[in-house]
Amino acid sequence: MSASDLPSCNDQPPVSALTVDLRDLAAAAHSPVPQAFAADPDLRQILDGQRTSCWTIGGLGLVGFGRAAHVVVTGEDRFTAARDWWDRLTTQLHITDPLNRSATGPVAFGALTFARASTTSSGLVLPELVVGHDDDGTWVTLVSTQPEVQMQDVMAAWTRLVPQLQPVGSRHPDPATAPVAVADPAADRSWCSAVADGVGLISEGKLEKLVLARAVEVRSDAQPLDVPGALRNLAADYSTCWTYSVSVEDHADPSVNRLFGATPERLVRVLDGKLHARVLAGTLDRASVPPGIDPQRWAQQKLLDDPKQRAEHEFAIDSLLDSVSAYTNQVVSSPDPFVLELPNVWHLASDVTAELTPGPDGTVPSALELVEAIHPTAAVCGTPTHAAAEAITQLEGMDRGLYAGPVGWLDSRHNGDFGIALRGGVQRDAHRAELYAGCGVVEASVPAEELAETRAKLRPVLGALGVTPA
């Protein structure tokens, strides 16, 4: 299925977009922008509300409010259909953007399924108002159905859509009414046997690596799940990860099928003709350090010096380099991975940058084009890709939906930033969410250890939701 004609959801299509510098907006007479925010525009202060889209890291990034248009796409051509919709939409918009740099002007938030055969909706959302903050400044973009947009319209939209400032920092609900993770020992056992089957396929030479994941259900009977609160907690406690939230479908109840989490893995960023990626594969639970051992030495020994972890990482980095080779003549990647420290785990990580080669028309490929070329890497699928994807379908026995798919944003100049939707989940309704975690499986993998690794990866999002540990 492909994107249909504009508009996808609203009766009236957006026709214009205006970007203003936050300083100008805050300085205008009767501005609704709090002076405290103008002085310190840490986006985590406005990361609230039920209809918020976000992509933030340490207070920088983008937060979107409301919905001016969206597109839902599925199937193998979901990337091209989304791209076509966005190109058509932005060509038709009258854009006033004096700042004219990455992420200013209209931006869409997007989430796409891991598998082409998934029945889950992929898509893009163009929020009505976006607040952006990077090292060079802070701006606000309003998308409107009116041909002429003024500063007053941006102020009115701010008043209507932007929540009250919240202090940055994590807060957790009362343990007495905390949500619970539904324990399912039989599902854990069958997941371990799927891992053993995966190891079997590798031993038979059918695969070299595959990534197997499982889902955990969280329920909150006493009160609605606080997903905005979880986003604020993740953004505060995991400030080196990208906190994301996108609702592709437009449900009257905004909690239905909302994707959320905080990922440490950047699939691809396109910024002014350059590509950036952070590949992760190889994991160590920080809670596993034996007493009396220096944690840094332990991490070095168990990750950098361990052939199993290095092999897992090698597959992931090779798959990325292979898929970007057609788009660049010059790739820079450190010869050895480094150890990335997160509050819950250490990962083997490699940062990659590349100069994109312009096509005959002088433009470089768009972020979404690269996302399509790169997804799925062996960090979340396996090697060889197609055989691993088939094994995942057979062994996991679930539709991954948006988990492990690309999530992020794109602008109208082909810039964008996409991560892999990990360390999070999908809220199903006001009282229920499904969270996901997976691990790379190689010949030396031990099922019980992989199960423990998924638990370590689930800790951040469970903690952010206030789930009481079992």
Ligand X SMILES: C=C(O[C@@H]1C=C(C(=O)O)C=C[C@H]1O)C(=O)O
Is residue 338 within 8 Å of residue 350, measured between CB atoms? yes
- Catalytic one of 76, 206, 208, 209: 209
Q: How far is the CB of 162 from ligand X (least distance, A)?
A: 32
Q: How far is the CB of 297 from ligand X (least distance, A)?
A: 20
Which C-beta is closer to ligand X: that of 127 or that of 438?
Answer: 438
Is residue 370 within 8 Å of residue 352, measured between CB atoms? no
Instruction: Single out the residue of 210, 182, 159 nearest to residue 439, CA to CA.
Output: 210
Q: How far is the CB of 372 from ligand X (least distance, A)?
A: 19
The helix (run of H) or strand (run of E) holding residue 158 is helix 151-161
Query: Which letter does DSSP use for residue 174 in this model?
Result: -
Pairing of strands 274-285, 266-271: antiparallel
Query: Which letter does DSSP use for residue 183 in this model?
Result: P
The DSSP string of 102-113 is TT-S-EEEEE--
Which C-beta is closer to ligand X: that of 33 or that of 211?
Answer: 211
- Catalytic one of 265, 314, 396, 450: 265
Which C-beta is closer to ligand X: that of 211 or that of 395?
Answer: 211
Instruction: Single out the residue of 132, 179, 145 nearest to residue 6, CA to CA.
Output: 145
Residues 6+ apart with CB under 8 A from 39: none
The helix (run of H) or strand (run of E) holding residue 83 is helix 78-92
CA separation for the pair 342, 348 (Å, rounded):
11
Which C-beta is closer to ligand X: that of 22 or that of 218?
Answer: 218
Over the Cα atoms of the chain, what is R_g? Answer: 22
Q: How far is the CB of 153 from ligand X (least distance, A)?
A: 41
Specify the 3-state DSSP secondary structure of 244.
strand
Residues 6+ apart with CB under 8 A from 435: 181, 215, 216, 217, 218, 424, 425, 458, 461, 462
Specify the 3-state DSSP secondary structure of 165.
coil
Which C-beta is closer to ligand X: that of 55 or that of 403?
Answer: 403
Residues 6+ apart with CB under 8 A from 98: 19, 21
**Catalytic site residue 209?**
yes
Is residue 120 within 8 Å of residue 112, measured between CB atoms? no
Q: How far is the CB of 381 from ligand X (least distance, A)?
A: 9
Which C-beta is closer to ligand X: that of 429 or that of 449?
Answer: 449
| Residue number closest to ligand X, CB atom | 440
- For residue 436, how many C-alpha atoms fall within 13 Å in the half-sphere facing its CB? 25
Q: How far is the CB of 450 from ligand X (least distance, A)?
A: 8
| Cα–Cα separations (whole angstroms), residue 351 to 20, 50, 269, 348 | 33, 34, 11, 10
Which C-beta is closer to ligand X: that of 395 or that of 422?
Answer: 422
Q: How far is the CB of 284 from ligand X (least distance, A)?
A: 9
Q: Residues in the site for ligand X, rule: CB under 6 A?
A: 211, 213, 265, 280-283, 312, 347, 379-380, 422-423, 437-440, 457
Which C-beta is closer to ligand X: that of 89 or that of 213?
Answer: 213
Q: How far is the CB of 437 from ligand X (least distance, A)?
A: 4
**Catalytic site residue 265?**
yes
Catalytically active residues are 209, 265
